[in-house]
Structure 1
Amino acid sequence: MTARALTATDLALAGLLDGAGFARTEPPLLIAADLVRDLVGEALARRLYLTTDADGTELCLRPDYTIPVVKAHLEGPRAGEAAACSYLGPVFRHRPGLAGEFNQAGIELLGRADREAAETEVVALALKAARLYTSGPLVLAMGDVGLFMALVAALDLPAAWRRRLAKDFRRSGMLEDDLKRLAEPAHGGPTYRGLLTALEGSDPKAARALVADLLSIAGITTVGGRSAADIAERFLEQSALGTGALDPDQVAVVEKVLAIDTDPVSAESELRAIAGEAGIDMGAALDRLARRNALMAGSGIDLGASRFSTRFGRDVDYYTGLVFEIHDATGSVGKPLVGGGRYDRLTEMMTAKLGLDLKVPAVGCAFWVERLAEAGGRA
């Protein structure tokens, strides 16, 4: 099945985005599959449409626009400059019961140093664009991955735990398991402590190679489909995670922070109170939240009617700050109409892969035009 034909409202959306200064762009349909897998995480990687070129390189049809748009910008002559891009066209994902090809619109704001202003611009334009499709009630839901990472940093956890918590933040149930494990008292250590002591301080790559070699010597090549290298990576990660525990009071602070679900202004106030009482320094992250709240209020966004949850995340791994979705408040469309946020981690990974010495702040969003049309009764 192919994507539905573009409607007059879809074209009006494209015109609105272009008129707001987001130049229309159209990146290639095909992109290297390995690049996409590295950037989007497992959930989306399993839904790719794959093919191979004449040289044997595995490619995929673009599952969204963000990665190819960012890649094209970073490979272009103005990679170090600010850019505002928009798009409207087909993307491709396996979607059980639905067409694998569907239309997506969106905007990407790259290289803007005034981060909170850039985030406000994206959210305000997203709300305005949604109104092209529906006059019905909408809900703006927001969160901030950076707040959680500021909390983790303030707790002075080992690097392995910081990585684990960042990875599990958006995974239902897994973060609770992490906190339970952190709350357990540290014990004497596993029976392989001698090997861990020998590896302590070693180069991580060399340590992985040594463990992989030991497994190969023992005749262990695969377990459950995992290679010796994968098993070695898992072994070292689990070993590092077993080296530290949080004080019960610290776990209680994390749980208090993660329980916040209110409007953005009240969330800021509650977070400052928790941090102050616990003596935890989250000042920089909270100041960013305060600036963004002020800018959003000044742009006409009704923060009192918006929701801010410290547990809110989205289903890809590269978000680093603000995350947001716009929902149909009637519930007739169960999935987000618009979704996006700040994704500096994606540009960091991509510049590293391209060998570029650049820092490129990035924020954007995607419009699910079929859902928007359904919300407005224009399906």
Structure 2
Amino acid sequence: MTSVKSPGAKQIEAALAVLSAAGHTGITPPILQPADVFLDLIGEDIRRRLFLTNGSDGADLCLRPDFTIPVCRQHLETGPAGRLAAYSYHGPVFRQRVEGLGEIPQIGAESLGRTDLEAADADMLDLSVKALGAFGVTKLDIRIGDETLFVAVLAGLNLPTVWQRRLRDLFGETDKLASAIRRMAGTDAASDDSRDVRLGFLSALEGADPKAAHAVVEDLLSIAGISAVGGRTPSEIADRFLEQAALASGTGADPKAAETLRKYLAIEGPASEAVDALEAFAREAGLDLAQPIASFKARLAAMAERGLKVADMTFAADFGRRLDYYSGFVFEIHSASAQSGGQLVGGGRYDRLVKLLGADTDVPAIGFSLWLDRIAALPSSQQTSGASA
């Protein structure tokens, strides 16, 4: 079996030294993790690619598909959730692939507890650039996005809760999000599968009393002997069925709001011009986006202060990450001079994750991962041993 490609040991040591110098303590979370945590908290795409197994006690386990959740679990187990902490890691994650091995070597860093959000965002993006520099990768294509802006647009449109939740869940899944918006506009009848699903179980729930419908779903699951699916309880599954029934029936369809969303998601260009574009959109749409735009502007200023070239970055309003726990600023970095088969760095903010894992309150957090197999696949001219950021 062909081994996984990875950069040289000296380069990896140099990158880890960059993270250590920035105050990130190295940790190594266990490879085996409780499967239900990941089934609940990662995106549908990655959920299908888990390597699943069982413990001797029957517990459902999975091979670690990412580092962020295990790092946050270890953070919770070792002290107060809201404390300032900075971690780094190096090791494999495991995701099933159509081609190639499912063992993917990564290096990364996580920062938890910082309340100076925009400065923390800028610091972590800057740190990822410096870590790439340790591998001699200096010609970069940086793309940024912000789910906070998208959520603010959804809230300003006063959409029904079921639609806000559905659209937010799909943010970052471009094709699926576009399809959902067409359905909300009532213009996706030809390709929409709602007519089919309405012939089945969902049609029986449309317009039903919520409590009665809830009881029906829970009873059916009980009869089938199902206590949980994908980490969700029967009550949570029933809620999902009711949401799907409302979406299938077109409840809350709003063509005008759908068109506004399309205009927002089409915003893309140099990050240095994004503030003007966002303010122009807000005026035209009649939406109050002052707070998220001010935060976005402050983040760009913090990046510029750290020497990052904002004018060379691309902002895309429709850019989000496919891991469900991301909740705000996101970024990815590609090589500007070579095709690597995907992003070299992916990262972003996940302020809700620590609470979802058991903390009493949200904890501000941001992190990133370097895909070492993709870095190793770059031409040798992109990997000068010992190069600095």
What TM-score does the superposition give when structure 1 sets the normalisation length? 0.86
1:143 aligns with 2:145: yes
Amino acid at match of 2:306: S
- What CA RMSD, in Å, does the superposition of the two structures yield over aligned residues? 3.0
- Output the amino acid matched with 2:209: L
Gapped regions of structure 1 (runs ≥ 5):
none
Aligned mates of 2:165, 2:128 — CA distance in 1: 31
Query: 2:209 pairs with 181, 199, 203, which one?
Result: 199
Q: Is 1:338 aligned to residue 349 of structure 2?
A: no
Query: Aligned with 2:61: secondary structure?
Result: strand
Q: Does 1:16 align with 2:6?
A: no
Describe the SS at the equivalent of 2:367: strand
Give, in angstroms, the shift of residue 89 of structure 1: 1.7
Structure with bigger RCO (C-alpha 8 Å, 6+ apart): 2
Q: Deviations over 1:70-112 (max 9, x none)?
A: 1000122232201110011222222333233232100001111
CA distance in 1, matches of 2:184, 2:77: 42
Match of 2:378 in 1: 375
Cα deviation code 1:287-313 (max 9, x no counterpart): 110110111111111011110100112
User: In the alignment, is residue 39 of structure 1 matched against residue 38 of structure 2?
Assistant: no
Instruction: Give how far 1:41 is off.
Output: 2.2
Q: Pairwise mapping of residues 124-135 of structure 1 onto structure 2 (< 5 A)?
A: 124-135=126-137
User: How far off its partner does 1:211 sit?
Assistant: 4.1
Q: Offset at 1:198?
A: 5.2
Deviations 1:130-178 (A, max 9, x none): 1111245211111111111110011111111011001112223222222
Distance verdict in 2 for CA 1:195–1:50, change over 3 Å: closer
- The answer for the alignment partner of 2:271 in structure 1 is 264
Pick one of 356, 359, 364 that aligns with 1:361: 364
* 2:205–2:242 contact (8 Å) kept in structure 1: no
Amino acid in structure 1 at the alignment position of 2:326: Y
Alignment match of 1:208 (pick from 210, 214, 225): 214
- Rounded Cα–Cα distance in structure 1 between residues aligned with 2:240 and 2:106: 37
Q: 1:220–1:276: structure 2 CA closer, same or farther, 3 Å change rule?
A: same
Report deviation, 1:233: 4.8
Q: Counterpart of 2:353 in 1: which secondary structure?
A: helix
Q: Which residue of 1 aligns with 2:242?
A: 236
Match of 1:348 in 2: 355
| C-alpha distance in 2 between matches for 1:238 and 1:97 | 33
Task: Tell me which residue corresponds to 2:317.
Answer: 310
Q: Is the 8 A contact 2:27 2:89 kept in 1?
A: yes
SS of the residue 1:294 aligns to: helix
- Rounded to whole Å, the distance in 1 between the matches of 2:372 and 2:323 is 20
Deviation of the 1:11 alpha carbon: 0.9
Identical aligned residues as a percent: 42
Which residue, out of 151, 163, 166, partners 2:165?
Answer: 163
The answer to whether the 8 A contact 2:33-2:64 is kept is yes
Alignment of 1:12-161 (within 5 A): 12-161=14-163
Q: 1:31 offset after TM fit, Å? A: 0.8
- Listed as ranges, the gaps of 5+ residues in structure 2 are 188-197, 385-389
| Displacement of 1:30 | 1.2
1:245 and 2:258 aligned: no
Preserved CA contact (<8 Å) 1:140 1:326: yes
Q: 1:207 to 1:127 in 2, by over 3 A?
A: same
Specify the code of the residue in structure 2 equivalent to 1:371.
Answer: R
How far did 1:16 drift?
0.9
Shift of 1:50: 2.4
Give the AA of the match of 2:39: R
Q: Tell me which amino acid in the other structure corresponds to 2:253.
A: A
Preserved CA contact (<8 Å) 1:142 1:307: yes
Q: TM-score, normalised by structure 2?
A: 0.84
Deviation at residue 232 of structure 1 after TM alignment: 5.0
> Cα gap change, 1:196/1:105 in structure 2, threshold over 3 Å: closer, same or farther?
same
Distance 1:291 1:23 in 2: 28
CA deviations 1:311-341 (Å, max 9, x no partner) are 1122211111111111011242131011110
In structure 1, what is the Cα distance between the partners aligned to 2:315 and 2:126? 16
Greater CA drift, 231-240 or 172-181: 231-240
